[in-house]
Amino acid sequence: MPELPEVETVVRDLRPLLVGRALGAARRSAFALRRPWDDAWDDALADRRVVGLRRRGKWIVVDLDDAARLQVHLGMTGRLTVHPADEAVAVHTHLAFPLDDGRELRFNDARRFGSAAYFADEAALQAFFAAQKLGPEPFDLDPAAWWRDLHGTSRMLKPVLLDQTVVAGVGNIYADEALFEAGLRPTRRGSGVTRAQAEKLRRAIVAVLTRAIERRGSTIRNYVGGSGLGGGYQDEFRVYGRTGEPCPACKGPVRHLRLGGRSSHYCPHCQG
């Protein structure tokens, strides 16, 4: 599933292509996405001009000139890209929005776990995020609040990092990489983390995500950014997906375990 760096890359790629452009009514495939498209949204979006693009957690938000919002979630295999209108439409393209410059914004999703939705205004969008109990952005984590969240739970650190109500946007890849950078095992209990370790982890999360954004995220299977280009951070993984390979720090083997049904990768020597 695309995580924060991948979604941020899509937003940055699409921003110069979409801002100032007017949308036409959506063209849809016969297959529903995770959230069914409401027919009323066609008229609501028609002739609306894009005034901005941003990210919240793993969601893409398209700001429109009447204060309405188009929200997109890439799910596991979603791609949101701009194409010439006369270019052949790829299989698994489930939404296409004509643009006033002769191109189309297309949402392609082979597994259809992604979604797109219309919100009448910012308040409606924020109400949706509140209902999801979406936590703060990793770059906005308050050190004192972060320490309280970790120290106040007996859960293991890896599940805490994946909990979108605690911190928004972090997924399996970057949780493993941040825990390695902080020198903490994924199985360490939050209640057993010192204040200094919590701060080291907070800084590691920010550092790892920042580097990943600079490399356009990670392409492991089918992720591409809004320009259609892949990411490059997969070439810099230190533990994720490297089971049995030498740790880049101590050269011991990277280990693998499953926590809550998710794969976790760590160095037993470097991560205490």
For 88-141, the pLDDT digits (tens) are 999 999 999 999 999 999 999 999 999 999 999 999 999 999 999 999 999 999
pLDDT value, residue 251: 98
Query: Residue 226's pLDDT band (boundaries 50, 70, 90)?
Result: confident
pLDDT value, residue 158: 97
DSSP symbol at 90: P
Cβ within 8 Å of residue 107, ≥6 positions away: 33, 72, 78, 79, 80, 93, 94, 95, 96, 114, 116
Q: Is 158 a catalytic residue?
A: no
Q: Check whether 57 has a pLDDT greater than 80.
A: yes
Report the pLDDT averaged over residues 199-207: 98
Catalytic residue chosen out of the listed positions 15, 27, 203, 262: 262
Amino acid at 27: R
Parts of the chain belonging to CATH 3.20.190.10? 4-131
Say what the pTM is.
0.95
pLDDT value, residue 225: 85
Q: Is 2 a catalytic residue?
A: yes
What does CATH list as the number for 138-266?
Answer: 1.10.8.50
What's the mean per-residue pLDDT of the chain?
Answer: 95
Q: Is 200 a catalytic residue?
A: no
CATH superfamily assigned to domain 4-131: MutM-like, N-terminal (3.20.190.10)
Query: Residue 222's pLDDT band (boundaries 50, 70, 90)?
Result: confident
Parts of the chain belonging to CATH 1.10.8.50? 138-266
Q: Is 214 a catalytic residue?
A: no
Catalytic residue chosen out of the listed positions 2, 98, 159, 186: 2
Going from the C-alpha of 119 to that of each of 12, 60, 104, the distances in angstroms are 22, 13, 21
What are the tokens at 11? 């937003």
- Listed residue (24, 41, 19) closest to 100, CA to CA: 24
Catalytic residue chosen out of the listed positions 55, 56, 58, 185: 58
